[in-house]
Amino acid sequence: MKKIKETEKGFYGCYWPLEGADSAMIAMLGDDCEDYMAKSAVKWLQKKFGLSVLTLSPAHKDYSHINLPVERIGASIEYLKAQGIRKFAITGASTTGMFSLVAASYYPDITLTIAMTPSDFVMEGFHQGKRDGQTEWPGDGESSVSWEGKPLPYLPYAYRHPEYGKKIKEESKAGGDLLASRNMFIESERLHPICEEEFIKIERIRGKLLLIGTEDDVLWETAKYIRRMEKRLSEFPHECEVESYIYEHGTHFVFPEGLVKTILPLGGDLITRVFAAGAKPK
């Protein structure tokens, strides 16, 4: 494993080369590029597919998403090319699923995009840490993603700090979930119908596109977003080949079974049971 600091290469990440591989996955799974989740993903991806992996995160143990530059993916691709990589894939889950779609729409070198529980629009930026008794709060006119130094247009959250954090806690407690914000996103769209410039231009993605989500996702309406992306691709010329998988149950965790077993060799189903929806019969 070789760790490349953002100040050196334009991104913060860890490179996990596999001898003889000319394909690499840019993986944004976990809160840090070398935490347990990230290392488990590397182990599973290399065993299953025989490729090198570059794990990325915003910064060291920082899961805030404030104007994250899309260019960090471009820098990652150039770094991988210098290592002899010729085929590029990207994957992310949740907000990094969204980021994966945005990045793939900008970089045609990426020919496999796997987005798990993504949104089809750019989200407003958010901070994580501790502030006034809350662990997460919205940005102040800040997008989650930027391009060429400018924030991309985004869907603003329905609430500001500290109401934002309080609403999430209330919704989570009411449903018996570890974390829930579905109602907040529904209210956000009601107050601010999504504009065209806020939608991710998925029709620009090349190669294979996999979209994965569940009906019982309590963080946001992933199934609805995936269906909107399918509709968008039916209306726009595109070169990607899309496959979408929407499951009835699974909550916000839609990782492959093999990856779940790598993360939790015993009791892997517990990963979904932190959400009330995960306890429903499959």
Domains of the chain as residue ranges with CATH: 2-279 (3.40.50.1820)
- pLDDT the model gives residue 282: 39
Which residues, 6+ apart, have CB-to-CB distance to 22 below 8 Å? 84, 85, 86, 87
Least confident segment among 103-112, 137-146, 186-195? 137-146
Let me know: does 112 contact 100? Beta carbons within 8 Å: no
207: Cα within 13 Å, side-chain hemisphere = 17
Task: Name the average pLDDT for the chain.
Answer: 90
Task: For residue 256, give every residue at least 6 positions away whose Cβ sits within 8 Å of its Cβ, in sequence order, or none.
Answer: 44
**DSSP code for 20:** T
Give the type of residue at 14. C
Q: Write down the residue that tokens 């989200």 correspond to.
A: 123
Q: Considering only CA atoms, which of 66, 68, 85, 69 is closest in space to residue 77?
A: 85
Residue whose C-alpha is closest to residue 72's, from 86, 92, 52: 92
DSSP state of 70: T
Does 266 have pLDDT greater than 60? no
CA gap 273, 177 in Å, rounded: 9
* Whole-number Å distance between alpha carbons of 228 and 65: 24
Are residues 211 and 226 in contact, defined by beta-carbon separation less than 8 angstroms?
yes
Is residue 50 classed exposed, middle or buried when 0-12, 13-18 and 19+ CB atoms within 10 A define those classes? exposed
Tokens 């496959």, located at residue? 243
Strand 52-56 with 13-16, pairing: antiparallel
Does residue 40 contact residue 267 with C-beta atoms inside 8 Å? no
pLDDT band at 260 (very low <50, low <70, confident <90, very high): confident
More confident residue, 176 or 5: 176
Determine the average pLDDT of the residues in 86-114: 97
- The whole-number pLDDT of residue 265 equals 62
Phi, psi of 152 (to 5 degrees): -75, 145
Q: pTM score, two decimals? A: 0.91
- pLDDT on residue 206: 98
Q: What is the pLDDT of residue 8?
A: 75
Residue 189 to residue 187: CA distance in whole angstroms: 5
pLDDT of residue 145: 96
| Tokens of residue 110, six digits | 């990426």
The more confident residue out of 63 and 100 is: 100
Average pLDDT over residues 98-109: 98
Q: How far apart (Å, rounded) are the C-alpha atoms in residues 115 and 91?
A: 6
Cα 5 from Cα 209, distance rounded (Å): 29
Statement: residue 177 has pLDDT above 60: yes
